[in-house]
Structures are given as structure tokens and as C-alpha cells.
Structure 1
């Protein structure tokens, strides 16, 4: 079983990599058959190819930055949650999205599931 400290480290690293827009390193955090549901409620993406396309078309096409806004919460069953903000340009306007990502990890420390909890209510257009 993956340790809670490893979960915490991996989740904090994920936000740092999003901030750097390091798609290659982000993808290395995922298991080959992982799923991504971003935001929760859309059809989940399955497999590293679909997840790669998601990051390349989203993060790779923006000037996004990310900052962790609270502590990682972990479980003894291989899951964790992390609050953070993503600053992006949306329709030519600077915005900030407040997100909580929930991730599940396998015993090898790879993400098997990522769910991003946010909606229009969590998107703020900056002046």
C-alpha cells in the first residue's frame, strides 16, 4: 500500500508541474490505464493517450500557472485531495479557477484516477 507521505509528495509535485506546464513530467505521474474527469461531471478520459491529449490541448495551449492553497488530505486507502488555484486566460481575459483535485494511487505510486472538482461558480474573471 502506498504511504500517505508519498501521496502528499506526489500531489504537491503535480501542482508544481502544472505551474511549470511540464506535461511530460505530469504524464509520468499517471498509470497507463488511468482516468481523468476534469471537471467532475464530464465524460471521463481513459488511458494515457487520451490524458496526454487533454493536457496538451488544455495546459499546453495556455499560459496557466498554479498554486497550492491548502494542505493535502490523504487516506489510508491510497487517495488524496489537494486544493489549488489555476490562473489562465479564458476568452482573452485573465481568470482564476479554484479547484480541488482528488486522486487515487496504485501501489506503485502512479495516479489511477484524477477528479477535478470545480464549476463556473469557482471561475473568477480578474480585472
Structure 2
């Protein structure tokens, strides 16, 4: 199992790669059989091809992530990151407040990502 520091480093690499528009780099952080549930309550995406397509779409639209609190580890195989997504929604500038909780496999790659945000976390600016 990866330690807390390694999981936190992966979360920060996730942000760096996302903000660089590197969808393939983000997807490389995931295990081949990983899942992404964004937002929680929707049908999870499963597998690397679906996850890559998700990040290709998000990065191609110019979304950017701003970390707003330190990454948090755990005594287990999970870590969390709270950030703001800056994007254009319906043609308007918006900020979406999000906390991602990710679990990790023994190899240190992300096994699952669950994005916690709801309609009241979307703010038009």
C-alpha cells in the first residue's frame, strides 16, 4: 500500500498534469481497471479508455484546477484533495468547489476517484 506522502504527491501530480492540458498524463496516474465517479451519484466511468476520454474532454475545454486546501492522506489507501475548478459553463465563467477522494492500489496508481460536488457548489463569477 502506498504511504500518505506518496498518495498526496500523486494528487498534486494530478493537478499539475490536468492544468498542463496533459490528459494522457492524468490518465497514466490511474490503474487500468480504475473508476471515476464525477460527480458522486452518477454512473462511474470504468477503465483507462473511458477515463482518458473524460480528461481529454475536460482539458480541451480549458478547465483549470486551483488547490484550496492541503492534500489529506489517511491511515489506509485513500487520500483527498479539495480544489476549485475554473471553467466556462453555459458560456459563463464559473467556479465549482470540489473534493476528490481517491483510493490507491498497491502499485501506487489511482484505483478510484469520487468527486464530491453538487449543484450548490457551482458559482458563476
Q: Give the TM-score normalised by structure 1.
A: 0.94
Aligned length: 125
**CA distance in structure 2 between the partners assigned to 1:121 and 1:18 by the alignment:** 24
What pairs with 1:34-49 in structure 2 (closer than 5 Å)? 34-49=34-49
Cα shift at 1:57: 2.3
How many angstroms apart in 2 are the aligned matches of 1:98 and 1:21? 20
Alpha-carbon distance in 2 for matches of 1:111, 1:29: 6
User: Counterpart of 1:103 in 2: which secondary structure?
Assistant: strand
- Distance in 1 (alpha carbons) for counterparts of 2:84 and 2:21: 14
Matches of 2:38 and 2:59, distance apart in 1: 12
1:65-121 deviations in whole A, cap 9, x for unaligned? 111100111112110010001100111111011100000001111000000000111
CA contact (8 A) 1:16 1:67 kept: no
**Structure 1 segments of 4 or more deviating over 2 A?**
57-60
Unaligned runs of 5+ residues in structure 1 are none
Output aligned runs, 1:57-68, within 5 Å: 57-60=57-60, 62-68=61-67
TM-score by length of 2: 0.96
Gaps of 5+ in 2: none
Query: Once structures 1 and 2 are overlaid, which stretch shifts more, 88-97 or 16-25?
Result: 16-25
Q: Does 1:122 align with 2:125?
A: no
SS in structure 2 of the partner of residue 70 of structure 1 = coil
